[in-house]
Amino acid sequence: MFLRRYALRDLQGRLQEFTPEQMWDRVAGFVARAEEGRPTWRARFRELLEGFRFVPGGRILFGAGNPRRVTLFNCYYVPIREDSIAGITRWMVEAARTYASGGGVGTNVDVLRPRGASTASAGLVASGPVSFMEVFSALTGVMGSVEGRRGALMMTLRVDHPDVLEFVSAKSDPQRTRIQHANVSLRVPDEFFAVLDVDGDLRLWFRTPREVVERRVPARRVWEALVEAAWASAEPGLLFWDTVVRESTAQYGGLEVEGVNVCGEVPMEPYGACNLGSVNLGAFVKDPFGPRARMDWSALEEAVQLAVRFLDDVVTVGAPRHPLRAQREASERSRRVGLGVMGLADALAMLGVAYGSEESVRWVEECFRRLRDSAYAASVELAKEKGTFPVFDAVKHERSPFIQRLPAELRRAIRRWGLRNAALLAVAPTGSISLLAGASSGIEPIFGLRYTRLVGGQRLPAQHPLVALYRHHTGRGDPDWPTAHRIDPLRRVRLQAAAQRYVDQSISSTVNLPASAGPEVVETVYRSAWEMGCKGITVFREGSRAAVLETPGTSPVAVCTLCEPGLPPDGTSTP
């Protein structure tokens, strides 16, 4: 994993690094260029990276100090500027440039007029957004087919667009098999559930310069089509858009969120960029697997504060490497970062806490409260030292319910000194960087003690690294930890919701379901996620589509590794 995806190569492709230690030296030195006391911060960043205590996003690991012109930001939101051929082709050029620099792209296709709407072109009527989704997917696949380039795409649609039913079935329809290189998610407001509850009709509409396209369909019909498609093909996912907007920390100054990145954990303004990194929670457990097992909270909080500074410095040193000028301007305007976690399931196992249990939910709340408070304290200190993000407005910022839930002392500090970063926290899926670190991914449970991974067409046996550590520490055989296929899906949702209360952006997580689960289970998971306050949710039912992981006795299960560089083009793209 390290040699194939992250080790530095020269312009002729020859390896220049052979160990992660060499990579950490390179990354720490490059990021510390943003600091006046460069040697001091280089040493501190290097210590932070040691042992995978903190793992920057894959683009940072690959790009920092790389002689190639590659971005340090994993994903961008690139809007379709207008409903026209010029708007579509402009998007394709901007997306291609972003892919070529190593970034993934999210976009909203509901900008495009519905199928059958009148046009001024020779075609007389529009072919609709789904037809262009096939084109966008093809572009993404081509750009991602060359080693070293990325092709990762998220396309979303608002639920009241006239082509919503066609969109919902796009990935499960055998006639639409060409949409292979993209995630799709539906943006749903609170009002949709109110209409659904009374079996009402949903108004579908789109306004063009020539006409208003409008019709009504039963909300239940849209909901059932969505559930059926997710059950059959693991997509679309759901984005609870009113919750996203309501909880956003900076709905002003051109930072109003409009779309999301590839895996949905970062809602962003037009041309916004996600700058990711994760603290490895398992690395902060003392005396694991025994009666004295405990979290070193002070060490974790110190690491979080240093990681915020690291990611803020990435905004600075990475500025010249954005593919588009608009992306650089957006990133420097917001100084948005996305600090998250990996190894959460590992930490719970080390502490003897069952993932999904009541105790685990309480622990997650405590952990994420500490992460939130430490990250925000760090951003205040950076604002005092280096200045706030350019459009910071204390009064407008405090209108966010998320900011209002911060401790009073932190709120007072923000009023006085401001914040360096418009947003700070996001939990990415951490696919290949978790494998690199030997940790469980994101906030997901341990997938399996032993499993087979599909890499480049080969099935490779793997064992979760924590198993060997457990056997070493305890002298016992395999542990009996709850793995992905053995956890009640609603417990998964509840744990995600507990974390979401302390995350100012969002969380990427996929709820695994057994092959025997019916559509009603998907319906319950999706509805519960909205009721519990999640910002988004996806499911994966065993056997519903091709996959990259499989455990003994189960069908393969797909995982989202789109937020990491250099993935083999195996066609899997589950958020």
Looking at residues 446-470, what average pLDDT do you find?
A: 87
Catalytic residue set: 261, 263, 265
For residue 146, pLDDT over 70 is answered with: no
Measuring CA to CA, which residue among 312, 341, 334 is closest to residue 389? 334
| Residue 571 contacts residue 180 (beta carbons within 8 Å) | yes
| DSSP H helix total and E strand total for the chain | 20, 20
Phi, psi torsion values for 82, nearest 5 degrees: -155, 160
The CA distance from 230 to 13, in Å, is 41
Span 288-317, pLDDT tens digits: 999 999 999 999 999 999 999 999 999 999
For residue 572, pLDDT over 90 is answered with: no
CA distances to 142, 145, 183, 407 from 571, rounded to whole Å, are 12, 10, 11, 45
Residue 123: what pLDDT? 57
Query: Domains of the chain, with CATH numbers?
Result: 1-107+140-157+247-256+264-575 (3.20.70.20)
Is residue 179 very low, low, confident or very high in pLDDT (cuts 50, 70, 90)? confident
Percent of the chain with pLDDT over 70: 92
408-417 vs 358-386: helix axis angle to the nearest 10? 20
Q: Tell me the CB-side half-sphere exposure of residue 332, using CA atoms within 13 A.
A: 13
| Residue 275 contacts residue 57 (beta carbons within 8 Å) | yes
pTM as predicted: 0.93
The CA distance from 164 to 166, in Å, is 5
The CA distance from 107 to 71, in Å, is 19
What is the token pair recorded at 284? 């902060």
Span 513-532, pLDDT tens digits: 999 999 999 999 999 999 99
Q: Which residues pair with 268 in a beta bridge?
A: 259
Q: Which residues pair with 157 in a beta bridge?
A: 186
Span 266-283, pLDDT tens digits: 999 999 999 999 999 999
For residue 456, pLDDT over 70 is answered with: no
Residue 509: what pLDDT? 93
What is the arrangement of strands in the sheet containing 338-342, beginning at the earlier edge strand? 54-56, 276-280, 338-342
Measuring CA to CA, which residue among 68, 144, 136 is closest to residue 106? 136
Name the DSSP letter for residue 345.
Answer: H
The CA distance from 427 to 495, in Å, is 13
Span 458-467, pLDDT tens digits: 888 889 999 9
Measuring CA to CA, which residue among 141, 66, 235 is closest to residue 568? 141
Higher pLDDT, 285 or 143: 285
| Residue 148 contacts residue 59 (beta carbons within 8 Å) | no
What is the token pair recorded at 440? 């469980």
